[in-house]
Structure 1
Amino acid sequence: MDAKTAAKDIKQGKVSPLYLLYGSEKFRMNEFTAMLEEHLIAKEDRDFAVIPFDLSETPVQAVIEEAETVPFMVERKLLLVRDAALFTAGKEKVKLEHNVEMLSEYMQHPAEFSVIVFMVNGDKLDERKKIVKSIKTAGTVLAFNPLGAEELLRWVEKGFRERGCSIAPGTAEALIASSGTGLQGLSAEMDKLCLFAGTGGRVDAAAVESLVHRGTEQNIFTLVEDIANLRLDKALNTLYELLKQREEPIKIASLITRQFRIILQVKDLSALSYSQGQIASQLGLHPYAVKLAGEQAHKFGSQRLRQILSILADLDYQMKTGAVDKVLGLELFMLRLGA
């Protein structure tokens, strides 16, 4: 089951007694728990009925004891259990005696008046563990992995609609290009843009350009995009903006190298018929970053990309040994590429 289906079931009153949430998208995980809390517990009862735990500080048997205790003044309790490392392969930072057998026994006969949500700080579960197999049988296990490229665009478009403002074509892409793929940051920027536009207002790429701060990595991506499209004036303006922000030239060169290396890797893997998701997993990148790198890869041949990486390696050596002025070296590199 995926999170969307689980949310639909909850809204229809089909609630599991146990949930296990894991994955790298903590923002979506928190959104899910907030939705669960909203549908299960009345606002005025949350001080009594929503009980947080942290398994790095509290043994799991304390969670079970609370789950089995009849609620006071409310019909149902929601137990939010963070740092549930006992479901992963990694070792716990703090040594606590967790009675996993007690948890397994509880899973066989969970209390009707309690819902337990375990939140794992990790991308994977340890499928070899008996406790993981048990909760898959007794409860609902949900993965919160990065959204695919198209899913991310739809998520942004939906976010604007939910905030009561419309967007011009290309606005979602412009926002991701400026803010990055982090959902927390994108959510905050959408709040700001819709506040600027007003209820029923319209947000366009120009508003994104003027209101959204572009991070260093986003600036580097734009710089490489401008180089690929022979927009050297824009590329140099981005470089000077980064220098104005006191970014170290060697760091800028390193980030440019990283972007060109990603482009080459995406190009090579695409030639081997890898899917966008497979490439993202292989390189440890967000699927949207793979999509954009794939678009840039069409503008370069593989041999040309290897030549550029060789030039950047020489530039790095010259900058670090003082053989060339750092800023001048970056300028000459970009002019050479444009030529």
Structure 2
Amino acid sequence: MKELDLILKNIKNKEVLPIYFFHGEEPYFIDVAVKALEHDFLTEDEKAFNQTVVYGKDTSYQDILSLARQFPMMGDKQVIIVKEAQDLRLNDEENRILEAYAENPVPSTVLVFAHKHKKLDSRKKAAKALDKAKALFLSESIKENNLPKWIADECTKLNIKTAPNIAHLLAEYMGNNLSRIANELNKMKIIVKEGQVLDGTIVENHIGISKEYNIFELQKALGTKNANAAFRIAYFMGKNPKNNPFVMMLSSLYNYFSNVIIYQTMTGQPQQAIASEMGVHPYFIKDYAESARLYPLKHATRVISILREFDMKGKGLGAVNMTEAELIKELVYKIIHVDKIKMKV
């Protein structure tokens, strides 16, 4: 959510809006904003009289707005927080009263809606009224290729120095579970001493991601055609499928070899332009350059076809009774020997 930093700053400065309607697919940004309004705006004494938390499944817009029209018992403001607001019914009558309140909110009330995992229907008049009042805040999911940058930015905010591959390693292994990533980074903030660099060893010891047997290292081994390393990593990853989901592995390798193809098609252009097109840090361009040398365009394209083939096999099509460990080993073999594999027409 782009406005999050400004919202947090304003809450800290006690400059709040009468309504906040947070909605969207990404729950993490909504949780951060709501937590700040819940814990950092009123004093502990004020909360006892002037803060109310309700849940969407237990109430209605009509009841919530009746509460919102009341005045604070002590102090200048009251805060009403509606968690799980996506469970509220928004029929015609509820839509009408929410629209009316959005057009004329009570100044002494801070009304907060946490409408998670989906957007508010923009066709509703209430949504249009909230948007016009600048009370509607969309929390969008971070695209996969932007996740390492988000992690790197969070590390910067926390003053955590990292080795070059750490943001990508965390992104590859934890996916876009921003809450989990944020929790781990806050833990690292405590563990990593001043001047120390967050590297693979610290990640392995405290987050549980092996610096030797993970998708990032498999990707590196395949990218450099290091067959011994690739088969060794595949063997150990196959023994622990719970921590190495096959579908995540395929997605990561698909992105990597798609970038190899991008490098092939943009050869001769500035590295910054190539990195921008790939959505990676320029630091990693040298890795793609090496892979592009080992996997000419014809072979890199063939790898993409192999990955699609194994996506189908992973779903049980054409791979009867094959375990994930067997699929991983066969996949690695075919990629390493892609120049010798005859593709089906």
TM-score, length-scaled by structure 2: 0.71
| 8 Å contact from structure 2 (residues 172, 215) kept in 1 | no
Q: Check whether the contact 1:83–1:119 (CA below 8 A) recurs between aligned residues.
A: yes
Distance in structure 2 (CA, Å) of the matches to 1:325 and 1:135: 52
- Write the letter of the residue equivalent to 2:196: R
Q: 1:95 to 1:134 in 2, by over 3 A?
A: closer
Aligned partner letter, 1:154: D
Which is worse superposed, 312-321 or 174-183? 312-321
Partner of 2:320: 321
| Counterpart for residue 66 of structure 1 | 67
For 1:26, the equivalent position in structure 2 comes to: 27
Corresponding residue number in structure 2 for 1:196: 191
Distance 1:15 1:110 in 2: 13
Residue 153 of structure 1: how far off its partner (Å): 1.5
Amino acid at match of 2:52: I
Structure 1 contact 168–203 (Cα < 8 Å) conserved: yes
Q: Distance in 2 between matches of 1:115 and 1:54?
A: 16
Q: Secondary structure at the match of 2:116?
A: coil
Q: Is the 8 A contact 2:50 2:77 kept in 1?
A: yes
* Structure 2 letter corresponding to 1:28: F
- Amino acid of the residue matched to residue 51 of structure 1? T
* In 1, Cα distance between equivalents of 2:17 and 2:26: 22
Q: 2: CA distance between counterparts of 1:19 and 1:207?
A: 39
Question: SS at the partner of 1:230?
Answer: coil
Deviations 1:160-218 (A, max 9, x none): x2xxxx424424444444444322112222233333335x3624212113322239xx9
Cα distance change, pair 157–264 in 1 and its aligned pair in 2 (3 A): same
Q: 1:203 to 1:177 in 2, by over 3 A?
A: farther
Q: How many residues align?
A: 310
Shift of residue 23, structure 1, vs aligned partner: 2.2
Find out whether 1:15 has 2:10 as its counterpart. Answer: no
Residues 110, 310 of structure 1: CA spacing in aligned structure 2 closer, same or farther, 3 A cutoff? closer
Q: What's the Cα RMSD here?
A: 4.2
Q: Which runs of 5+ in 2 are unaligned?
A: 267-272, 338-345
Secondary structure of 1:80's partner?
A: strand
Structure 2 CA distance for partners of 1:98 and 1:59, relative to 1, 3 Å: farther
> Kindly tell me: are residues 54 and 73 of structure 1, through their superposed partners in 2, closer, same or farther at Cα, counting changes over 3 Å?
same
User: Residue 132 of structure 1 corresponds to which residue in structure 2?
Assistant: 127
Q: What is the TM-score when the length of structure 1 is the normalising length?
A: 0.72
Q: Select which of 95, 102, 119 maps to 2:114.
A: 119
8 A Cα contact 1:20 1:142, kept in partner: yes
3-state DSSP of counterpart to 2:20: strand
User: Do the aligned partners of residues 33 and 269 (structure 1) sit closer, same or farther apart at CA in structure 2, a change above 3 Å counting?
Assistant: farther
Amino acid at match of 1:3: L
Contact 1:123/1:145 (8 A) holds in 2: no
Letter in structure 2 aligned against 1:2: E
In the alignment, the residues of structure 2 paired with residue 136 and residue 18 of structure 1 have an alpha-carbon distance, to the nearest angstrom, of: 11
